[in-house]
A = this chain, B = another copy of it.
Amino acid sequence: MTTFPTLASTPTLDPAAPAPAAPTVRLVEVGPRDGLQNERQAIPTATKLALIRRLAAAGLKDIEATAFVSPKWVPQMADHAEVMAGLPSAAEFPGVNYPVLTPNLKGFEAALAAGAREVAVFAAASEAFSQKNINCTVAESIVRFEPILAAAQAAGVRVRGYISCVLGCPYQGEVAPEAVAAIARELLQMGCFEVSLGDTIGIGTPAGVQRLIGTVGEQVQVTRLAGHFHDTWGMGVANVAEAWRQGVRVFDSSVAGLGGCPYAKGATGNVATEDLVWLLHGLGESTGVDLEALAACGEWICAELGRPNGSRAGRALRARCAA
């Protein structure tokens, strides 16, 4: 019963307007890696590089570029060396980091040879998940990181740690926050500069996030933590907001919500970067990101991939611009 205006008249409330110079929250864009790794279709290296370039142009300073894993495991990341060779220069986008995933020393050495200056290692918080996926205990998987961290330190390369299944595991169900805390402490003691806590199956709610950050925060500084939330059950933005309330100021996300859940066809994946930018600007934080440019990037990559845009802020912005 209400008639609505064209959206040209909306923007006065728009948290998107000024892109502030000094970010108070750091966003780690994982679209080119976590977002694309499970895409079945072949994606040209040039498309990946164009995506990375557009993300950097939108103001993102940490863009996970690829993974140095076996093409047998992740065929989509087989062009990791080509991606690294084609990254924008530091002159073009000063201060942008392009971390890559390295599951083992062989991957690390290849990443180093390709010019990586930041890498990431990953462990599961769930024994069942670790056993099923890499056939070893959580403790054994962490021991395997030692040579990577030693080699990285020698080469002056930063190492980030990921912990998966922090709010639940598809095999064992519940995961104790204390288990996550112990792994986070160990990864930081080994030399990781930061630990990203991943709700891999997107099952958590803010109550779980509060317990998790509370417990982990007793063992490590909250400023060394990042939140990595998937939106599978629609909780992504709410979980980021709760982690933010608990003091977390680094978040992983994926433009246009690229990603999806590898085991649940049609389900949503990583929380969308556009939605987080809208949230965080609304919470009074600076991200350094130009939301309009980011949303345009999201529209572009969805058109390239022929998939729907998973960002609701992105869709709202598009609808408004089209009005």
Nearest CB of B to A85, in Å = 22
Query: Which listed residue, B11, B67, B174, B316, touches A232 by the CB 8 Å rule?
Result: B316
Nearest CB of B to A216, in Å = 19
Over the window 254-279 of chain A, the binary record of Cβ atoms lying under 8 Å from chain B Cβ atoms (1 yes, 0 no) is 00000001111111100010110011
User: Judging by beta carbons under 8 Å apart, are B282 and A13 in contact?
Assistant: no
Given contacts A266-B315, A316-B202, A319-B265, A7 and B170 within 8 Å (CB-CB): yes
User: Judging by beta carbons under 8 Å apart, are A282 and B313 in contact?
Assistant: no
Chain B residues near A240 (CB, 8 Å)?
238
Query: Which listed residue, B10, B173, B205, B238, touches A12 by the CB 8 Å rule?
Result: B173
A42-67 at interface with B (beta carbon < 8 Å): 67
User: Judging by beta carbons under 8 Å apart, are B10 and A312 in contact?
Assistant: no
Nearest CB of B to A315, in Å = 5
Query: Which listed residue, B4, B15, B231, B318, touches A266 by the CB 8 Å rule?
Result: B318
Chain B residues near A311 (CB, 8 Å)?
234
User: Judging by beta carbons under 8 Å apart, are A129 and B205 in contact?
Assistant: no
Given contacts A174-B13, A282-B204, A282-B235, A264 and B5 within 8 Å (CB-CB): no
User: Judging by beta carbons under 8 Å apart, are A282 and B208 in contact?
Assistant: yes
A202-243 at interface with B (beta carbon < 8 Å): 202-208, 231-235, 237-238, 240-242
13 new A-B contacts, CB < 8 A, other than A266-B315, A268-B315, are A1-B37, A2-B164, A4-B170, A4-B261, A4-B263, A5-B170, A205-B241, A233-B275, A234-B274, A234-B279, A238-B279, A241-B242, A264-B316
